[in-house]
């Protein structure tokens, strides 16, 4: 097998190719736990936000990609409550989970402004510089 990176071509034996595939899979798919939420990058490219420790699907929202979650965040006002987090399949508990996730995930420049009502506040003007 041949692999080209940065204009250089490398020949890989089968064992090395299998190790590389495994490492890429781990980089693409992974789970990250925060205080109240969990973010999971799935191998199919989707991204799941769930309430930490919750067993039911009612506390989980599957996005087509992490970019879809970014777009949702970018569309929110500078200060937002759970009802502002609107979208397909977003119930009350999922909206609250997303507000917490935006505040907990370091990619989003967001903090909790209030617990009652649950309110998030973007800490920087304009679109955030997001990675994942």
- Residue 20 has a pLDDT of 80
- Residue 54 has a pLDDT of 86
- Residue 21 has a pLDDT of 76
**Contact between residue 82 and residue 120 where contact means Cβ atoms under 8 Å apart:** no
DSSP letter, residue 89 = T
**Contact between residue 54 and residue 91 where contact means Cβ atoms under 8 Å apart:** no
- Residue 27 has a pLDDT of 66
- Residue 125 has a pLDDT of 55
**Contact between residue 102 and residue 110 where contact means Cβ atoms under 8 Å apart:** yes
- Residue 126 has a pLDDT of 45
Average pLDDT along the chain, 132 residues, taken 10 residues at a time? 86 84 72 95 94 87 96 97 93 94 96 97 64 50
pTM above 0.95, yes or no: no
Q: In the predicted model, what is the mean pLDDT of the chain?
A: 88
The tokens for 82 are 């759970």
- Residue 129 has a pLDDT of 46
Q: What is the pLDDT of residues 53-79, one digit of tens each?
A: 988 888 899 999 999 999 999 999 999
């Amino acid at each position: 097998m041949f692999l080209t990176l940065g204009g250089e071509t490398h020949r890989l034996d089968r064992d090395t190719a299998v190790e590389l595939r495994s490492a890429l899979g781990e980089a693409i798919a992974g789970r990250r736990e925060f205080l109240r939420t969990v973010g999971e990058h799935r191998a199919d490219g989707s991204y799941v936000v769930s309430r930490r420790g919750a067993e039911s699907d009612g506390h989980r929202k599957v996005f087509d990609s992490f970019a879809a979650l970014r777009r949702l965040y970018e569309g929110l006002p500078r200060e937002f409550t759970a009802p502002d987090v609107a979208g397909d399949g977003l119930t009350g508990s999922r909206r609250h989970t997303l507000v917490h996730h935006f505040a907990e995930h370091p990619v989003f420049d967001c903090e909790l402004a209030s617990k009652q009502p649950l309110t998030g506040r973007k800490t920087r003007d304009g679109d955030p510089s997001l990675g994942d």
